[in-house]
Amino acid sequence: MITVKGTISTPLSPAQAFAFLKEFENTSEWDPGTPVVEKRSIGPVAVGHRYHAEAEFRGKRQPIEYEVTELREGHIKLRGENKTLVSFDSIDVVPSGSGSDVTYTAEFQLNGFRRIAQPFLKPAFNTLRDPALNGLRDKLNSLV
């Protein structure tokens, strides 16, 4: 499995930051690697809610279907899948000083014969980290 993880700080309170981030369709507002995220379920976010996303990786756009698998205050986890991979994305928001720290973790498991290439693809997946974290920080800070 390939893990990409990072933490940013924001002056937003944990409640404010998490209210924005648990709405996974907002991901396209801060993650340049995921320009399309559409909510497929009706009502407030809950376990079982589904999203359609389009992720850009190595110059290609690929669809990924996500489902919320865990949800509690300050924590959301989603499972995404397409023909080439399974992704587990989690967002954790905790108090820090007068604001909050947000940790985003993405774990990727390549499917089938692609699994053997995972060690070689880790650097490519890691290039997604900094643009996403920078976008996340900038977006949250714009909500202050």
Q: Are 76 and 70 spatial neighbours (Cβ–Cβ below 8 Å)?
A: yes
In this predicted model, what pLDDT tens digit does every residue of 11-56 receive, in sequence order?
A: 999 999 999 999 999 999 999 999 999 999 999 999 999 999 999 8
Q: Which amino acid is at 63?
A: P
CATH code of the domain in which 51 resides:
3.30.530.20
User: CA-CA distance, 12 to 98, in Å (whole number)?
Assistant: 8
Which residues span the domain enclosing 20? Answer: 2-142
Per the structure, the count of domains in the chain is: 1
In this predicted model, what pLDDT tens digit does every residue of 84-122 receive, in sequence order?
A: 899 999 999 999 999 999 999 999 998 877 777 777 778
Token pair in block for residue 33: 């690697």
